[in-house]
């Protein structure tokens, strides 16, 4: 692995790189609350297949800059980080792979860059175009009388105070509870905190070693969770700024993966069912006995599906 700071889009973006310099470029975009190391099982497999891999620490995370302003984290600005990076590196034909929030960035990059982003892989978060209303409006109506973590994240400083108080515990709970839905789907009063009634897991999940976990913790030591949470505070702004993409379908060959125990599969079932109407060339798979952290929990299956898809649509 190599790493480099790229001065792009008004920030410093820290990017990890691996593989032959002549290999076709693949970008791996992580989600929340993850880090570049969440792709640790995919990087060697992709490098062995002959690809050049680029894994950024996304805006607000780790060694990349974390601007103070909430407005600095709307989806088009985050996309621009990757677009400017591709330009700086002279890339004209790439595959974008994204998980969780990284998947949302990947979906939008495919719309914004139909020529340069020739192949798309998304995991855990589906996409069926811009909604008729901002998603946060709908959430506030649906969860007027009960807790919802995204609504809880909206007030600046509140979630940060809870999550930053014990970064190790916060990440451990996310890894265990957010994977299968215990943390996100549990019914609680609207004025609850995120971890109210949630016990601290006694051990790491089977897919994360102590050494791996140290890198997750290191990611949030510098700036805490503030930058990462600011992504959630732009739902309405994202909706307003993407009106020009309203009718843009995704024409690139696209692979979508989701776990059968992922709470997103339940919460976004309607979106998943609508994807074929907005994604013209879609291949999708649901992995059995798998939660939200799909590329870690089922790394062998993910790698097999990913490499098979790439061989057909983005050969090294």
Distance (Å, whole) CA 85 – CA 30: 16
3-class DSSP state for residue 269? helix
Distance (Å, whole) CA 266 – CA 93: 34
Distance (Å, whole) CA 59 – CA 30: 11
Burial of 155 (0-12, 13-18, 19+ CB in 10 A): exposed
Contact 142, 196 (CB under 8 A): no
Indicate which residue of 14, 30, 292, 313 is catalytic: 292
Q: Where are the alpha helices (DSSP H) in 40-124?
A: 42-48, 75-88, 101-112
- Using CA atoms, how far residue 90 sits from 84, 87, 94, 113, 315, in Å, is 10, 5, 11, 14, 19
DSSP state of 40: T
Indicate which residue of 65, 100, 223, 262 is catalytic: 100
272: enclosing H helix or E strand: helix 269-274
Residue 30 is among the residues annotated as catalytic for this protein: no
Name the residues annotated as catalytic. Answer: 100, 292
């Amino acid at each position: 692995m190599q790493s480099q700071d790229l001065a792009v889009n008004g920030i410093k973006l820290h990017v990890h790189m691996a593989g032959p310099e002549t290999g076709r470029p693949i970008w791996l975009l992580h989600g929340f609350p993850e880090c570049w190391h969440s792709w640790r099982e995919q990087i060697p497999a992709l490098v062995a297949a002959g690809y050049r891999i680029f894994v950024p620490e996304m805006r607000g995370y780790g060694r990349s800059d974390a601007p103070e302003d909430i407005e600095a984290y709307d989806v088009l600005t985050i996309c621009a980080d990757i677009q400017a990076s591709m330009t700086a590196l002279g890339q004209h034909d790439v595959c974008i792979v994204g998980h969780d929030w990284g998947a949302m960035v990947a979906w939008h990059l495919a719309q914004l860059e139909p020529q340069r982003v020739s192949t798309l892989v998304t995991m855990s978060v589906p996409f069926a175009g811009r909604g008729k209303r901002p998603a946060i409006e709908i959430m506030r109506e649906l969860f007027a009388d009960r807790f919802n973590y995204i609504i809880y994240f909206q007030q600046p400083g509140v979630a940060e105070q809870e999550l930053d108080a014990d970064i190790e515990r916060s990440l451990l709970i996310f890894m265990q509870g957010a994977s299968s839905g215990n943390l996100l789907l549990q019914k609680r009063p609207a004025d609850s905190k995120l971890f109210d009634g949630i016990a601290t897991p006694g051990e790491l999940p089977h897919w994360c070693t102590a050494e791996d976990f140290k890198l997750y913790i290191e990611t949030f030591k510098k700036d805490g969770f503030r930058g990462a949470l600011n992504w959630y505070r732009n739902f309405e702004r994202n909706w307003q700024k993407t009106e020009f993409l309203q009718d843009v379908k995704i024409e690139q060959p696209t692979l979508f993966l989701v776990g059968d125990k992922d709470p997103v599969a339940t919460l976004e079932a309607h979106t998943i069912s609508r994807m074929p109407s907005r994604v013209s060339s879609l291949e999708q798979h649901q992995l059995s006995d798998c939660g939200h952290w799909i590329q870690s929990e089922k790394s062998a299956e993910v790698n097999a599906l990913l490499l098979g898809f790439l061989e057909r649509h983005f050969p090294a």
